[in-house]
């Protein structure tokens, strides 16, 4: 995907969203159809590899945030090299899976949640192990490190917000003028923020960040490291074949 395409998805969607009514039969915009985006080292869902040739600069602000969060949790020197954004709609789910890696496991995996609440299932080292269910609310950060990196986990469903409380208050507030020195805030107009607010009323955005290589480590000669990472929920196109999505309550196992 070229650097212009993500911007085009936004531009092609916002005007339609601003004109949207309440009818359920209206066609979905590209933004509403979007299910996942990769950052930094881009994961190849087919070969399950990372490659030094398939890379774009990791967002500086997210890198800095991840570094600080990891350090606060006892992991100094964390280097954010790859990220996945999963876009969950109200009917989305993530099948039970495990993140396997032949590389370094001493670095944690960071997970940031925004928008609507999700049910997160943390299982054991076997699929049949009884899961522990927990809510992942907007603003929650999960750090998976050590043995937890090799536990099965899933997101079976998104919890719809109660009527009249569709969006967490912190996401519904308009941008304050005194905060406009920040480059990120400057790039978001009030009109764009209205679209973001509308989107988040029925959606969840989850950002997972990981360090691909240990300190001093390089990619193998094949120029790819075989890793299994978080998959996105099933979409109409481009869905990883080893993940399933269930439309009814509950979750399914990988095939």
61-97 confidence digits (pLDDT tens):
999 999 999 999 999 999 999 999 999 998 999 999 8
11-60 confidence digits (pLDDT tens):
888 888 877 655 566 788 888 899 999 999 987 777 777 788 889 999 99
d(CA 233, CA 35): 7
Q: Is 67 annotated as a binding residue?
A: no
Q: Is 230 annotated as a binding residue?
A: no
Ranges of each domain in the chain: 28-159+202-245, 161-201
Record the pTM.
0.76
Q: Which pair of tokens denotes residue 146? A: 């050590």
Of 51 and 128, more confident: 128
* CATH topology (fold) of 28-159+202-245: Jelly Rolls (2.60.120)
Q: Which residues contact 152 (CB under 8 A, 6 or more apart)?
A: 96, 97, 98, 123, 124, 125, 126, 127, 129, 131
Write down the mean pLDDT value for the chain.
Answer: 78
Q: Is 226 annotated as a binding residue?
A: no
d(CA 153, CA 41): 23
pLDDT at residue 225, as a whole number: 44
Question: How much is the average pLDDT of 163-177?
Answer: 58
d(CA 196, CA 14): 9
């Amino acid at each position: 995907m070229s650097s212009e395409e993500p911007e085009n998805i936004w531009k092609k969607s916002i005007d339609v969203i601003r004109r949207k009514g309440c009818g359920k039969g209206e066609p979905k915009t590209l933004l509403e159809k979007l299910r996942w985006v990769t950052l930094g080292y881009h994961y190849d869902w087919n070969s399950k590899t990372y490659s030094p040739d398939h890379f774009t600069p990791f967002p500086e602000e997210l890198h800095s945030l991840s570094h600080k969060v990891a350090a606060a949790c006892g992991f100094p020197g964390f280097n954010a090299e790859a990220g996945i954004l999963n876009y969950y709609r109200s009917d989305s789910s993530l099948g039970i899976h495990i993140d396997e890696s032949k590389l370094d496991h001493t670095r944690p995996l960071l997970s940031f949640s925004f928008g609507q609440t999700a049910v997160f299932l943390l299982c054991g080292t076997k699929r049949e192990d009884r899961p522990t269910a927990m809510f992942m609310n907007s603003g929650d950060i999960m750090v998976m490190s050590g043995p937890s990196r090799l536990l099965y986990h899933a997101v079976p469903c998104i919890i719809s917000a109660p009527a009249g409380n569709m969006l967490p208050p912190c996401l519904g507030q308009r941008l304050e003028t005194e905060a406009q020195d920040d480059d990120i805030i400057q790039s978001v107009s009030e009109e764009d923020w209205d679209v973001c607010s509308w989107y988040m009323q029925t959606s969840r955005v989850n950002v997972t960040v990981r360090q691909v290589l240990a300190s001093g480590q390089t990619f193998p000669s094949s120029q790819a490291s075989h890793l299994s990472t978080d998959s996105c929920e099933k979409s109409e196109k481009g869905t990883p074949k080893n993940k399933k999505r269930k439309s009814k309550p509950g979750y399914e196992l990988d095939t």
